[in-house]
């Protein structure tokens, strides 16, 4: 059988010399083993062009995948050369968060930021947490990876550590303990095989090593944050330094300067936030609203602690309707 | 009402992904586009005319899907399945995961001959409901949220405002109940649980409830853990959570929005995630099946659920009696017909197949 690739109306098609009698197309790995008695063929339609058979697939042929044409029910298979993948990937890991050297033992989540939109279904295969000393995988550290938690642009993936192993008093915690061990070093590894939305692997794998420190407990307390007030007439950033490292994505979402156009963004390490107004500051009081959903890296929010000590009244949650705000006084320039 | 009256328009759904599925009134299919944060109502225009009644078995489901989609097994991600209420054909939501052609596909499995086809998501009668970050809140719901707490003094100012429910980045399940689509999910940022109620036909309205449950194995009241799977039941829904409480929420409470407290009726075991739930009839009595990551298939009599008092004590009692079935490897499930439950079952080698379990044998 004489087979090859062709192009028709901009689509990649499969061409077979001669009439399309009893021909079926399969991805080659579907022919391996004989688990599918019916041998469901690939969806598509056959056309005849100048006496030759042309297969137009319902779903486009994929670069890197091997395809075969079979005659009749049990005829020989003609395997086509693979369509090469479009080069090695340019997509890379931009950041592994939290961007901290030391993370609390009760850390709730990691996040991996990529330079391009990614494919789904690779998190469980291509991300692992291992001990830094011997490279052994930390067993049962993550909550199941499905459904994968992507942001809308599919560039940031959140990976939750198993919350039931973090909350004290729960059976999984009592039986298996914290996923992380204080004083030990762990490494979050992203394999280069993680595919981007174009189906390509990463330009390189990535890893970040963390020292595991003491637990991070109690509510996030905005009243303890230090605020550096900008001066009127300037566009100096209004800076806030937090009492602890906060979740970077939530910080971007949960802090707002009321009624003042401008741009706020979290520091990479989640320890601070800066807001630059579109127009120079004017003298007066500026209000920074804090959504109580704002969480630290251990999942404690302004409204409630993640792992509440029922005997400690300081852990009592705030009411769900509360919004917390900081007031900042913008004074005149001293010069 | 015929499906023609649902306000569906023919065209490209623009779906970026496809996940949880559930049939609604007049054979309309609701599909979750979790990536696009919306729910799409589809007229699948099922071509079969008569209901098939034979059991359905398809060995190596992933292999068959990979072949049909023209990709490797690694590129197939099966998300959910639903059985057409009139024809018995099976609809599978599949992500053809990688590559420039990576795309959502709604596959139809013909009950009569086992052949595969697909519903063209770029040319189908459909309607869309976006899951808003800030739902179009009606006054009643707003009152509920505001009525929850006193204003709080902060830095000398008293401030109070409504809380916007967490953004959903992943829809875990959906179902049609009492004139509305219920959508459960979790956020990629905040660890919080939200259940949305979207009246159908879609008219732009939606309401959100914050759910509170007593988690027996955690010994605590929780509001953050997301629902994994749920089914309509007895004037409300039965919801399963990770690690693994089973909770009933009355529809009347959900319809009002705001904070809803559920009735925990069972603790099914820790270190576990529920994968599938389905209700079926056996000898005139309604039964519930729950599949798990860590435990065998479990059967629970719904009558026991209805008379179970709320569990509010840590660790035990464990609530309604349950029977562990001698069936392993089951993940997704759906009611196939009066006599069968359709399941996705993995064998020892991890090869997944569609199997019809006789309800009489459960």
Same domain for B171 and B212, yes or no, is: yes
Residue B141: band (very low, low, confident or very high) from pLDDT cuts 50, 70, 90: very low
pLDDT of B261 reads 86
Same domain for B194 and B224, yes or no, is: yes
Same domain for A179 and A128, yes or no, is: yes
Same domain for B108 and B182, yes or no, is: no
Contact A27 B66 (CB under 8 A): yes
Is the pLDDT at B159 greater than 50? The verdict is no
Same domain for B69 and B95, yes or no, is: yes
Q: How far is B284 from chain A (nearest CA, A)?
A: 36
Q: Is A197 on the interface with B (CB under 8 A)?
A: yes
Q: Is A50 on the interface with B (CB under 8 A)?
A: no
Residue A168: band (very low, low, confident or very high) from pLDDT cuts 50, 70, 90: confident
| Mean local confidence (pLDDT), B113-125 | 94
Same domain for B119 and B180, yes or no, is: no
Same domain for B105 and B202, yes or no, is: no
pLDDT of A296 reads 93
DSSP per position, A9-50: TTEEEEEESS--SSEEEEEHHHHSSS--TT--PPSEEEEEET
Is the pLDDT at A84 greater than 80? The verdict is no
Same domain for A192 and A232, yes or no, is: no
Contact B100 A199 (CB under 8 A): yes
b (16+ CB within 10 A) / e for A74-88: eeeebebeeeebeee
Is the pLDDT at A132 greater than 70? The verdict is yes
For chain A, the straight-line distance linking the first and the last C-alpha, in angstroms and rounded, comes to 86
Is B243 inside any structural domain? yes
pLDDT (tens digit per residue) in B279-291:
999 888 999 999 9
Least confident of A218-227, A309-318, B85-94: A309-318
Q: Do A275 and A290 contact (CB within 8 A), yes or no?
A: no
Least confident of A251-260, A312-321, B335-344: A312-321
Q: Is A199 on the interface with B (CB under 8 A)?
A: yes
CATH classification of the domain holding A243:
2.60.40
* Residue finishing a domain among A59, A80, A101: A80
More confident residue, B39 or A256: B39
Same domain for A73 and A141, yes or no, is: no
Q: How far is B67 from chain A (nearest CA, A)?
A: 5
Is A85 inside any structural domain? no
Nearest CA in chain A to B65: A40
Is B345 inside any structural domain? no
Positive or negative torsion for Cα B335, B47, B102, A24:
positive
Residue B26: band (very low, low, confident or very high) from pLDDT cuts 50, 70, 90: very high
Residue B147: band (very low, low, confident or very high) from pLDDT cuts 50, 70, 90: very low
pLDDT of B343 reads 97
Same domain for A118 and A197, yes or no, is: yes
Least confident of A158-162, A271-275, B328-332: A158-162
pLDDT (tens digit per residue) in B75-101:
888 999 999 999 999 999 998 865 444
Same domain for B125 and B139, yes or no, is: no
Percent of chain B with pLDDT over 70: 86
Is A86 inside any structural domain? no
pLDDT (tens digit per residue) in A134-159:
999 998 888 776 778 888 788 999 99
Q: Tell me the whole-structure pTM to 2 decimals.
A: 0.80
pLDDT of B167 reads 59
> Which chain B residues are within 8 Å of A292, Cβ to Cβ?
163
Nearest CA in chain B to A144: B273
CATH classification of the domain holding A173:
2.60.40.1220
* Residue finishing a domain among A190, A213, A236: A213
pLDDT of A309 reads 62
pLDDT of A47 reads 93
Residue A37: band (very low, low, confident or very high) from pLDDT cuts 50, 70, 90: very low
Considering only residues 254 to 283 of chain A, which have any Cβ-Cβ distance to chain B shorter than 8 Å?
Answer: none
Same domain for A115 and A38, yes or no, is: no
Is B347 inside any structural domain? no
DSSP per position, B114-152: --EEEE-TTSEEEEEEE--SS----HHHHHHHHTTS--E
Is B39 inside any structural domain? yes
pLDDT of B116 reads 94
* Helix or strand run (H / E) with residue A249: helix A248-254
Q: CA-CA distance, A231 to A330, in Å (whole number)?
A: 6
Same domain for B158 and B283, yes or no, is: yes
Q: CA-CA distance, B265 to B351, in Å (whole number)?
A: 34
Cis amide bond preceding B70, omega within 30? no
Contact B243 A306 (CB under 8 A): no
Q: How far is B165 from chain A (nearest CA, A)?
A: 9
Strands (E), B242-362: 245-250, 258-261, 263-267, 274-282, 285-292, 298-301, 323-324, 330-335, 340-346, 352-358
Q: How far is A11 from chain B (nearest CA, A)?
A: 12
Total number of domains constituting chain B: 2
Same domain for B146 and B73, yes or no, is: no
ipTM of the complex: 0.80
Total number of domains constituting chain A: 3
Is B123 inside any structural domain? yes
pLDDT of B259 reads 76
pLDDT of B128 reads 95
- Three-state SS at B285: strand
Token duo for residue A331: 């004074």
pLDDT of B121 reads 96
Is B279 inside any structural domain? yes
Q: Average pLDDT of chain A?
A: 85
Same domain for A259 and A147, yes or no, is: no
Residue A275: band (very low, low, confident or very high) from pLDDT cuts 50, 70, 90: very high
Q: Is A319 on the interface with B (CB under 8 A)?
A: yes
B251: phi then psi, degrees, rounded to nearest 5:
-60, -35
Among partner residues A57, A119, A323, which is closest to B102 by beta-carbon distance? Answer: A119
Range of the domain at B176: 135-326
Same domain for B192 and B287, yes or no, is: yes
* Residue finishing a domain among A50, A80, A110: A80
For chain B, the straight-line distance linking the first and the last C-alpha, in angstroms and rounded, comes to 37
Range of the domain at A323: 222-330
Is A67 inside any structural domain? yes
pLDDT of B99 reads 47
């Amino acid at each position: 059988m004489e087979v090859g690739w062709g192009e028709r109306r901009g689509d990649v098609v499969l061409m077979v010399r001669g009439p399309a009698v009893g021909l079926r197309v399969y991805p080659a790995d579907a022919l391996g083993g004989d688990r599918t008695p019916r041998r469901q063929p690939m969806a598509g339609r056959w056309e005849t062009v100048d006496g030759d058979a042309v297969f137009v697939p319902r779903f486009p042929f994929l670069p890197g995948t091997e395809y075969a044409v079979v005659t009749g029910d049990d005829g020989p298979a003609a395997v086509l050369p693979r369509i090469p993948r479009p080069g090695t990937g340019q997509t890379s890991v931009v950041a592994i968060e939290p961007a901290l050297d030391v993370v609390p033992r009760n850390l709730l989540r990691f996040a991996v930021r990529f330079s391009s939109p990614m494919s789904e279904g690779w998190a469980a295969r291509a991300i692992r947490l291992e001990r830094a000393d011997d490279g052994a995988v930390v067993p049962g550290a993550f909550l199941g990876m499905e459904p994968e938690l992507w942001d809308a642009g599919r560039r940031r993936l959140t990976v939750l550590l198993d919350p039931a192993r973090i909350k004290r008093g729960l059976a999984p915690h009592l039986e298996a303990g914290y996923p992380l061990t204080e004083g030990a070093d762990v490494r979050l590894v992203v394999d280069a095989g993680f595919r981007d939305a174009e189906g390509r692997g990463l330009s390189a794998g990535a890893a970040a090593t963390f020292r595991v420190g003491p637990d991070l407990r109690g509510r996030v307390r905005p009243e303890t944050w230090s605020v550096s007030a900008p001066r009127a007439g300037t566009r100096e950033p209004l800076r806030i330094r937090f009492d602890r490292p906060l979740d970077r994505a939530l910080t971007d979402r949960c802090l707002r300067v009321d009624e003042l156009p401008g741009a706020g963004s979290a520091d990479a390490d989640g320890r601070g936030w800066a807001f630059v107004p579109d127009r120079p500051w004017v003298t007066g009081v500026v209000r920074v609203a804090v959504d109580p959903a704002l969480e630290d890296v251990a999942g404690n929010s302004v409204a409630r602690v993640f792992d509440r000590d029922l005997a400690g009244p300081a852990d009592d949650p705030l009411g769900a309707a509360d919004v917390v705000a900081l007031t900042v006084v913008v004074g005149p320039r001293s010069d | 009402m015929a499906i023609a009256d649902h306000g569906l328009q023919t065209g490209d759904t623009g779906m970026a992904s496809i996940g949880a599925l559930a049939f609604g009134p007049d054979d309309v299919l609701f599909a979750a586009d979790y990536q696009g944060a919306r729910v799409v109502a589809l007229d699948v225009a099922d071509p079969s005319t008569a209901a098939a009644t034979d059991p359905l078995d398809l060995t190596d489901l992933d292999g068959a899907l990979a072949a049909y989609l023209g990709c490797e097994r690694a590129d197939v991600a099966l998300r959910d399945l639903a059985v057409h209420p009139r024809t018995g054909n099976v609809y599978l939501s599949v992500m053809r995961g990688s590559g420039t052609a990576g795309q959502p596909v709604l596959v139809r499995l013909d009950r009569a001959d086992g052949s595969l086809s697909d519903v063209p998501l770029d040319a189908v009668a459909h309607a869309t409901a976006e899951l808003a970050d800030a739902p179009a809140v009606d006054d009643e719901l707003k009152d509920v949220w505001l009525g929850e707490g006193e204003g709080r003094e902060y830095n000398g100012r008293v401030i109070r405002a409504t809380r916007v429910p967490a953004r959903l980045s992943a829809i875990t399940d959906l179902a049609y109940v009492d004139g509305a689509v219920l959508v459960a999910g979790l956020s990629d940022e905040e660890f919080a649980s939200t259940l949305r109620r979207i009246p159908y036909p879609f008219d732009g309205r939606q309401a959100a409830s914050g759910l509170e449950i007593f988690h027996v194995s955690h010994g605590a009241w929780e509001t953050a853990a997301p629902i994994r799977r749920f089914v309509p039941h007895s004037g409300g829904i039965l919801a399963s959570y990770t690690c693994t409480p089973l909770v009933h929420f009355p529809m009347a409470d959900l319809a009002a929005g705001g904070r809803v407290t559920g009735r925990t009726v069972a603790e099914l075991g820790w270190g576990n995630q529920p994968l599938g739930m389905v209700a079926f009839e056996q000898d005139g009595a309604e039964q519930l099946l729950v599949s798990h990551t860590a435990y065998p298939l479990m059967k629970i009599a719904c009558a026991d659920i209805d008379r179970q008092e709320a569990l509010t004590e840590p660790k035990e009692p464990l609530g309604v009696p349950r029977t562990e079935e001698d069936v392993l490897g089951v993940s997704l499930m759906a009611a196939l017909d009066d006599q069968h439950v359709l399941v996705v079952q993995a064998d020892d080698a991890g090869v997944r197949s569609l199997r019809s379990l006789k309800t009489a044998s459960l």
